[in-house]
């Protein structure tokens, strides 16, 4: 039961690690503006593409019916995509959903720098704790496992963001790219981190890293000691 709770907690932590990466990548790449001109619902600007004045160019926007386009639609900037704006028709429900998602993503964008600082602080404290535990227990296993799983969650977050952003762009350029990237980063971080944690645990068990077989100080029988968890335990399970 305790082991399952720990695994679930770790999955959520790796998801959060991926989520912070996704949020920070969105923050670095995109800006969102809700409204604007009378017909605009959501505007997404690409920070990677600048105008001659150094301003970010708009990448995609959701518009209300106006002028010669009497329906809700998606506009994309030909200067960025190289494709003529198709004025893709969408329903009013989709437009409203995009507006809501845009507001949420705008808040996440603003919080991203603070989230990154908090994430680094938490990871630093956790690394300090596992290193201290290993020093006390005469082991390196906890530190290695933490390093492997955290690195995997980071790689999974980056990869998941790219995949999610690509998929999101297909369905809804701009807002979809940001939402898909963030969701992909969360899933990628959770999946990669959890997989690396499980795989490294099996490997470390197979080579008996942090595991030894001392004799019990009470009954004299040899027992399997998980030193990386139990420290310098001197008694077997029966004698504890």
51-84 tens-digit pLDDT: 888 889 999 999 999 888 999 999 999 888 888 8
Same domain for 117 and 128? yes
pLDDT at 9: 87
Same domain for 136 and 107? yes
Same domain for 133 and 225? no
184-231 tens-digit pLDDT: 999 999 999 999 999 999 999 999 999 999 999 999 999 999 999 999
Beta carbons within 8 Å of 189's beta carbon, 6+ residues apart: 14, 15, 16, 17, 18, 19, 21, 153, 154, 156, 157, 160
Q: Is the pLDDT of residue 2 over 80?
A: no
Q: At what angle do helices 141-171 and 2-29 cross, to 10 degrees?
A: 50
pLDDT at 18: 96
Q: CA-CA distance, 240 to 224, in Å (whole number)?
A: 14
Same domain for 128 and 217? no
Q: CA-CA distance, 133 to 147, in Å (whole number)?
A: 14
Tell me the pLDDT band of 3, cut-offs 50, 70 and 90: low
20-54 tens-digit pLDDT: 999 999 999 999 998 888 889 999 999 988 888 88
120-144 tens-digit pLDDT: 999 999 999 999 999 999 999 999 9
Same domain for 129 and 229? no
Range of the domain at 232: 212-240
Same domain for 80 and 109? yes
User: Total structural domains in the chain?
Assistant: 2
Same domain for 216 and 172? no
Q: Is the pLDDT of residue 6 over 80?
A: no
Same domain for 104 and 179? yes
């Amino acid at each position: 039961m305790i082991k399952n709770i720990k695994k679930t907690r770790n999955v959520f932590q790796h998801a959060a690690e991926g989520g912070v990466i996704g949020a920070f990548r969105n923050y670095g790449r995109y800006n969102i503006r809700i409204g604007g001109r009378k017909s605009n619902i959501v505007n997404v600007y690409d920070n990677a593409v600048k105008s001659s004045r150094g301003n970010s160019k708009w990448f995609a926007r959701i518009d209300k019916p106006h002028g010669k386009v009497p329906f809700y639609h998606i506009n994309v900037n030909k200067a960025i995509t190289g494709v003529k704006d198709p004025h893709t028709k969408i329903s009013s429900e989709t437009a409203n959903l995009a507006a809501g998602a845009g507001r949420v993503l705008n808040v996440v964008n603003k919080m991203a720098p603070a989230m990154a600082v908090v994430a680094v602080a938490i990871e630093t404290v956790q690394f300090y704790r596992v290193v201290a535990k290993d020093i006390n227990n005469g082991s390196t296993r906890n530190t290695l496992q933490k390093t492997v799983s955290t690195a995997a969650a980071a790689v999974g977050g980056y990869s998941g963001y790219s995949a999610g952003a690509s998929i999101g762009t297909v369905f809804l350029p701009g807002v979809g790219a940001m939402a898909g990237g963030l969701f992909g980063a969360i899933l990628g971080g959770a999946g990669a981190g959890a997989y690396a944690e499980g795989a490294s645990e099996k490997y470390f068990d197979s080579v008996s890293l942090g595991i030894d077989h001392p004799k019990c100080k009470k009954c004299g029988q040899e027992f399997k000691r998980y030193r990386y968890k139990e420290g310098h335990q001197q008694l077997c399970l029966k004698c504890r």
